[in-house]
């Protein structure tokens, strides 16, 4: 191979994986619906759940994982700071003194080459800083909810621990705080409010939310809390007929858009997103590993449904990756049989970037609204449901199963509209044609009607 050929190949590689954008403080947009950078640019949250990253991956493994996620377009990694109390990381370093969250165990120095210096918190620092270099934000859960519910964290300990976290990380450019951790806010409400308020008081420049338990949303308890900047819901891992609990108010099944719809009308207006939908490769219903597994088509569906309903982003998850299933594990959770290093290549992980690319592809990002009035035909139920969202000069309509779309034109500006098909599977756009921007028009997506043959109809104004 010639030097010229090698150089050409290198340039193509660099073009395929653009350089990381610098991280910095994020803000809520003036209309309260979206996030933006400090300079006012749109920030579309594309998250990945790497929950056990801090405790289970070595430095070189963290590099592999974070670089893979950067290349696939992710910009937020959701991770637990303390999965368990007590806890030690892969190097054997304990996070706490005598299992007391009020007493983080730190040592002088932080050199990775000196085991006597490099402690649990130095390892967290290392990964946080590595992520920042790659343009990745760290959505950090201070302590997983089961520990608090189990009585291992009282209010006094919570305040001391949250103060430690805020002081240590307030000057890092890439921190987002995820209070809670798969838990109802009503479990230990005072502790959660203490953590939330303490973090916000000592670290006001980083955004904060609450990660709730499955089939609930942060707004159920904390919407009016001064420390909560945006809402997060966990639509969970159940299919429609599995969502039958008598003790829960929301029986939405896979309709994660219903959580978004509920948050969208609340006052004051706050951004909201699905921070934990069904994970790719996890059993439907979660606990019975003989059940079918959720697929890449399912995670796409959750993403487009919630974002088109008004979410400011979306969090993807994969069964083996979220638990960082490693060769040294004696077992695994939820029937994981694949190592994380292989599971990062699950098809859904590569497809999520096309949702982010689509939402950032048109001017007027902050003006976008959900608008089901675009759909002239039957909106549909469950997998048949279609979703529409628009700005002033563009509109998107999503179908999960490729059924025909009847669309009310005239909802966006322009005498004519240019129509195209966008594939959530590979991000490719195919032109359809130009139409007068009035009346009703029916569009027939490519391929046969079947679940997973999902398409987005794009309408762009033509002046």
Residue with tokens 């044609």: 433
- Specify the pTM: 0.95
Residue 306's pLDDT band (cuts 50, 70, 90): very high
Residue 396: is its pLDDT beyond 70? yes
**pLDDT tens-digit readout, 101-130:** 999 999 999 999 999 999 999 999 999 999
Residue 3's pLDDT band (cuts 50, 70, 90): very low
Residue with tokens 């675009």: 374
Span 301-327, average pLDDT: 98
Span 341-352, average pLDDT: 98
pLDDT for the residue 249: 74
Residue 247: is its pLDDT beyond 70? no
Structural domains of the chain in order of their starting residue, each with its CATH number: 18-366 (3.20.20.80), 371-462 (2.60.40)
Handedness of CA 372, 375, 379, 383 (dihedral sign): negative
Residue 172: is its pLDDT beyond 80? yes
Q: Which residues pair with 436 in a beta bridge?
A: 416
Instruction: Kindly report the average pLDDT of the chain as a whole number.
Output: 95
**pLDDT tens-digit readout, 214-234:** 999 999 999 999 999 999 999
Span 251-279, average pLDDT: 97
Residue 6: is its pLDDT beyond 50? no
For residue 332, give the DSSP letter: -
Span 27-33, average pLDDT: 98
Q: What distance in Å separates the CA atoms of residue 228 and residue 309, rounded to the nearest whole number?
A: 21
**pLDDT tens-digit readout, 66-91:** 999 999 999 999 999 999 999 999 99
**DSSP-based three-state secondary structure for 8:** helix
pLDDT for the residue 21: 81
Q: What distance in Å separates the CA atoms of residue 116 and residue 190, rounded to the nearest whole number?
A: 37
The residues, any chain, with a CB within 8 Å of residue 383's CB and separated by 6 or more, are 301, 400, 401, 451
- Say if residues 237 and 281 touch (Cβ distance below 8 Å): no
SS3 track for 369-411: EECHHHECCCCCCHHHCEEEEECCCEEEEEECCCCCEEEECCC
What is the Cβ-side half-sphere exposure of residue 91, based on CA atoms within 13 angstroms?
A: 22
Residue 16: is its pLDDT beyond 70? no
Span 287-310, average pLDDT: 98
**pLDDT tens-digit readout, 408-455:** 999 999 999 999 999 999 999 999 999 999 999 999 999 999 999 999
The share of the chain scoring above pLDDT 90, in percent, equals 93
Q: What distance in Å separates the CA atoms of residue 39 and residue 276, rounded to the nearest whole number?
A: 29
């Amino acid at each position: 191979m010639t030097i010229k050929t090698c150089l050409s190949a290198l340039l193509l590689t660099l073009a395929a994986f653009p350089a990381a954008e610098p991280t910095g403080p994020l803000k809520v947009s003036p209309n309260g619906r979206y996030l933006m950078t400090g300079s006012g640019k749109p920030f579309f949250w594309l998250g990945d759940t790497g929950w056990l990253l801090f405790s289970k991956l070595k430095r070189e493994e963290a590099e592999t994982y974070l670089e893979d996620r950067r290349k696939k377009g992710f910009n937020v990694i959701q991770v637990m700071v303390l999965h368990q109390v007590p806890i030690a990381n892969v190097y054997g370093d304990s996070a706490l003194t005598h299992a007391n969250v009020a007493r983080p165990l730190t040592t002088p120095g932080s050199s990775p080459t000196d085991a006597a210096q490099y402690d649990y918190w130095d390892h967290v620092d290392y990964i946080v800083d590595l992520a920042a270099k790659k343009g990745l934000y760290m959505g950090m859960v201070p302590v997983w909810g089961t520990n608090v519910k189990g009585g291992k964290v009282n209010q006094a300990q919570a305040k001391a621990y949250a103060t430690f976290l805020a002081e240590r990380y307030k000057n890092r450019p890439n921190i987002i705080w995820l209070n809670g951790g798969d838990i109802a806010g009503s479990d230990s409400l005072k502790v959660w409010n203490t953590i939330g308020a303490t973090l916000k008081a000592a670290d006001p420049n980083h955004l904060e939310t609450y990660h709730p338990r499955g089939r609930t949303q942060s707004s159920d308890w904390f919407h009016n809390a001064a420390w909560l900047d945006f809402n997060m819901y966990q639509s969970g891992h159940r299919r429609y007929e599995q969502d039958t609990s008598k003790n829960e108010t929301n029986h939405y099944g896979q309709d994660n858009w219903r959580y978004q719809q509920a948050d969208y009308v609340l006052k004051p207006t706050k951004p909201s997103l699905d921070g934990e939908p069904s994970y790719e490769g996890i059993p439907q219903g979660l606990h019975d590993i003989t059940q079918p597994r959720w697929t890449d088509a399912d995670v796409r569906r959750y993403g487009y449904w919630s974002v088109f309903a008004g979410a400011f982003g979306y969090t993807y998850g994969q069964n083996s990756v979220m638990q960082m299933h490693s060769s040294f594990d004696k077992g695994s959770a939820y029937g994981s049989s694949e190592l994380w290093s292989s599971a990062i290549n699950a098809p859904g992980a590569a497809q999520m970037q096309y949702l982010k690319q689509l939402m950032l592809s048109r001017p007027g990002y902050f003006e976008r609204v959900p608008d089901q009035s675009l759909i002239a035909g039957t909106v549909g139920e469950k997998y048949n449901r279609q979703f529409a969202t628009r700005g002033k000069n563009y509109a998107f309509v999503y179908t999960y199963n490729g059924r025909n779309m009847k669309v009310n034109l005239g909802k966006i500006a322009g005498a004519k509209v240019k129509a195209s098909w966008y594939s959530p599977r590979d991000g490719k756009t195919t032109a359809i044609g130009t139409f007068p921007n009035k009346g009703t028009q029916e569009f027939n997506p490519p391929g046969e009607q079947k679940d997973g043959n999902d398409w987005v109809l794009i309408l762009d104004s033509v002046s």
